[in-house]
Structure 1
C-alpha cells in the first residue's frame, strides 16, 4: 500500500512539473501576439530583430547541448523543455521565429497578423486546454485531445474575425488551423500555422 501511494505521488509530481513547463512554454508562445503591433510600426526592424534573436538562440542552444550553459537563455530553455527534448537541441523557438518571419515576409500585414495570432492563441491555448482538462484523446496524434482542438478552433476563429471581420474566412481559417494543430507535427506546426493560415487569408480576402 505504501509503495502504491508512493508511485501515485511520483506520478502526480511528474504531471505537475509537466503542466508547469507547459504553462511557461505557452506563455512565451502567447506573447508572440505582440509581434504584429511591432510589425505595424517598424516592419523591417522587427524582422531584423527576430532574425537576430533566432540566430542568438541557435548559438546558445548549440553551446548548451555541448555542455556550455549560457546564463538566462539556457535557464529559460531548460525551464520550458518538454521531456522529449531532454538532452537534445530544443527546436521549438527556432520554428516559432521562422514561422513568424516567413509569414511577415510572404503576406500582407493583415494576412500575416492572422497567421501570427493563430499561432499565438490557437496553438498556445490548445496545448494548455488539452493538458489542463483534456479527456478525449484523438487517435494517432501523440496524445492530443478533442478539448484542445476545440479550444484551438475557437481561439483562431475569434482572432481571425477580430482582424478580418469576415465570418466565412474566419471559419475556414479556424478549421484549417485546428486540423494542422491536431497533426503530430511536433514543433513544425509553429512553422506551418502562420504561413498556411496567412496564405489562406491572402488568397480569399
Structure 2
C-alpha cells in the first residue's frame, strides 16, 4: 500500500510539474507582449501589420495541424503550450492575445493602449503563474481562479500603471479593475477584454 501511494504521489508531482512548465511557457508569451507598446511607438503601422501577419500565419498553421500536417517549430510550440482543454482543438489563446492587442492599439490613445497591454502582459500573465505556484484558496464561481493570483494581478497592474502615469490613485483604481476582470471566468477571451477594457478604464479615470 505504501509503495502504491508513493507511485501515485510521484505521478501527481510529475503532472503538477508539467502543468507548471506549460503555464510558465504560455505566460512567457503573454509577458513578451509587453514589448509591443515600444514597437508601436517606434513604428506604429509596421508593428500592426506584423501582428496581423503573425495572426494569419498562426491560424493557418493551426488549421494545418488539425489536418495532421506538422509545421516545424510552430506545431511544437502549440503542443508544448496547449492546455489540457485545448487538446485536439484549435488553440485560441494566441489568436485572442493578438486580437486584443490590435484592437487596443487601434481604438485607444497610445498611453491607454499601453496600460491595457501591460495589464494583459503582466496582470493576467503573472496572476496565472502565481495561482499555479502558490494559489491555495480558490474564489467561488471563478472556475478555479485563486486569491493569490488575483492579488498578484492587482499588484502587477498597479505597478505597471504607476510606471506609466505616476499617479497612485489612478493606478490603484486600474489595478482593482484589472483584478475584478481577471477573476471572471472568461476563458481565452480575457485576452481580448483585458487590454481594451482596462485601457479604456484607465483613460476614463485619468
Global fold match (TM > 0.5): yes
Residue aligning to 2:103: 102
Residue aligning to 1:129: 130
Question: Offset at 1:168?
Answer: 1.8
Matched, 1:153 2:127: no
CA distance in 2, matches of 1:15, 1:183: 24
CA distance in 2, matches of 1:200, 1:184: 20
Question: Offset at 1:49?
Answer: 0.4
CA distance in 1, matches of 2:64, 2:147: 38
How many residue pairs get aligned? The number is 205
CA distance in 2, matches of 1:143, 1:129: 13
Superposed, 1:51-130 pairs within 5 Å as 51-130=52-131
Q: Deviations over 1:114-155 (max 9, x none)?
A: 000110000000001000011111112121110000000000
CA distance in 2, matches of 1:151, 1:128: 9
Question: Offset at 1:204?
Answer: 2.8
Unmatched runs of 5 consecutive residues or more in structure 2 = none
CA distance in 1, matches of 2:27, 2:191: 12
CA distance in 2, matches of 1:154, 1:37: 22
TM score, norm. by length of structure 2: 0.97
CA RMSD of superposed structures (Å):
0.9
TM score, norm. by length of structure 1: 0.98
CA distance in 1, matches of 2:179, 2:126: 12
Unmatched runs of 5 consecutive residues or more in structure 1 = none
Q: Which stretch has the larger CA shift, 18-27 or 165-174? A: 165-174
